[in-house]
Amino acid sequence: MDPRRELRSRTTPIPGLLLFELPVHGDDRGWFKENWHRTKMLAAGLPDFAPVQNNISFNAARGTTRGIHAEPWDKFVSLASGRIFGAWVDLREGPTFGTLFTSELTPRDAVFVPRGVGNAFQTLEDDTAYTYLVNDHWTTEAQKDYTFVNLADEHIAVRWPIPLEKSIVSEQDRKHPRLGDVDPMVGRRTLILGADGQLGTALRHAFADDSTVEFAGRAQFDITSEDSYRALNWRNYSTIINAAAFTAVDAAEAPEGRAAAWSINAVAVSRLARTAVEHSLTLVHISSDYVFDGTAVVHREDEGFSPLGVYGQSKAAGDVAAGTVPRHYIVRTSWVVGDGRNFVRTMAALAARGASPKVVDDQFGRLSFAEDLAAGIRHLLDTEAPYGTYNISNGGQPQSWAQLAKEVYRLSGAEPGNVTAVSTADYVAPGSSPRPRSSVLDLSKITASGFAPPDAAERLAEYLLPDRVSGGRDASADYGARG
């Protein structure tokens, strides 16, 4: 292949705005080019922006000037005939607001314009036509989300090849505001669901400095209700973090709990996945060690599902649904401890009362402190880690529930010997759910991504400071302990 005819891309001073050189093959009959080739263009740096609509703009006369319009979607523009001068202005919130880039385009050229970057074109030849792919459907409602700036703005100072007074410009474009009067287009938002639970509370803290993040508890967004999905304009979002789940492991074995577990952990997740696919969103979904039977000593991300109980089965089904989203992070965790109902709070309360609980000693794992789990989730998003499944728990040596309970007693100033270790067989009550023997997760993948989970023992000591463990309901029935 002639290297001069290979697809090439180059960056610009505007983040995300990319120029492409398209190979054009011609002879006496005319020319041919691959105007859109997803695989080649992704390899050349184009985001996988999932276009859904193809438009053509024909301009009969030289000097026709359109713009500067920032639209609420991404677009890929290329010429079919003629020649144009393009001007792009960053109209998004942020430090590059107002940045200008210009270039001349021919049928050999194309440009990827990200959402919020204003684009204007001036035709330099008669009978110029350009096509553009967009990743959302145009509607009159969508047009309300446009952002505009005046073609003649003195601060931007576009050097139009054909002066504007000699150009064909619509009256509407002449009336657009100067840059100083433009409200920047806000970035796409992240929606965190289940924001009132242990992990949800930690995510509120982890993203407290990000104004583009919205938090929704069940009262604001019920993941089982179609009305919740219809109420949002998904065009304004880029990411969903689903921290909502049915976690009553034993209750899931009863008829009412079984239905709730499947409704929340599986059916609702499939609805979130469909929404993510339809609107090209990133879906972050929280998984569980209960999708495994625990026969493996350490669980890798690629281990096949083998859930023992209804809760684990419903979570595995949710994982399958979330995995169908091209842009997904399935975050598998275990033994979560945060602000709310959890094993550590229960043991600390029992220690304070001088109780002597019986705790199982043949189920092993590591604690996952919610603040570290939330930090790991933010790390995946901020670093744009490769999509897929990641195990995240705290690090350090695995422990049994009984070993952990004794350590809580010791750190609380109580006698560890008051904790009696028992086997699962001796502990299990009628109607309770089976548990995996090992909940230990392999952390090599998340560590290789640049996130080092803190040691669980260090986090436990910090968590048991007096102002951290007050409150919370008794969790002994769910975590293998009886007072």
pLDDT digits (tens, 9 = 90+) for 3-21: 456 899 999 999 999 999 9
Listed residues 181, 214, 247: the one ending a domain: 181
- Specify whether 168 is located in the same domain as 209: no
- Specify whether 274 is located in the same domain as 132: no
Q: For the residues 353-373, what does the mean pLDDT come to?
A: 96
Helix/strand/coil (H/E/C) assignment for every residue in 389-441: EEECCCECCCEEHHHHHHHHHHHCCCCHHHCEEECHHHHCCCCCCCCCCECCE
pLDDT digits (tens, 9 = 90+) for 311-346: 999 999 999 999 999 999 999 999 999 998 899 999
- Specify whether 173 is located in the same domain as 206: no
3-class DSSP state of 375: helix
- Specify whether 131 is located in the same domain as 203: no
Pick the catalytic residue: 25, 130, 132, 155? Answer: 132
Pick the catalytic residue: 69, 299, 328, 379? Answer: 69
Reported as half-sphere exposure (CB side, CA atoms, 13 A), residue 402 has a value of 17
d(CA 457, CA 451) in angstroms, rounded, equals 18
* Residue 433 near residue 310, CB atoms below 8 Å: yes
CATH code for the domain in which residue 225 is found: 3.40.50.720
Listed residues 134, 163, 181: the one ending a domain: 181
d(CA 296, CA 403) in angstroms, rounded, equals 20
Range of the domain at 212: 189-482
- Specify whether 264 is located in the same domain as 389: yes
- Specify whether 255 is located in the same domain as 392: yes
Out of 36-50, 243-257, 366-380, 458-472, pick the least confident. 458-472
- Specify whether 234 is located in the same domain as 341: yes
Is residue 311 part of the annotated active site? The answer reads: no
- Specify whether 234 is located in the same domain as 315: yes
Please state the pTM of the whole predicted model. Answer: 0.85
Listed residues 181, 203, 224: the one ending a domain: 181
Q: What percent of the chain has pLDDT over 70?
A: 95
* Residue 143 near residue 83, CB atoms below 8 Å: no
* Residue 20 near residue 112, CB atoms below 8 Å: yes
d(CA 423, CA 436) in angstroms, rounded, equals 13
- Specify whether 351 is located in the same domain as 229: yes
- Residue 483 pLDDT level (bands cut at 50, 70, 90): very low
- Specify whether 121 is located in the same domain as 252: no
- Specify whether 193 is located in the same domain as 177: no
The Cα angle at residue 294 between residues 290 and 296, in degrees rounded to 5: 135
Exposure string over 184-193, b if 16+ CB within 10 A, otherwise e? bbebbebbbb
Is residue 130 part of the annotated active site? The answer reads: no
CATH code for the domain in which residue 66 is found: 2.60.120.10
- Specify whether 267 is located in the same domain as 238: yes
The number of distinct structural domains making up the chain is 2
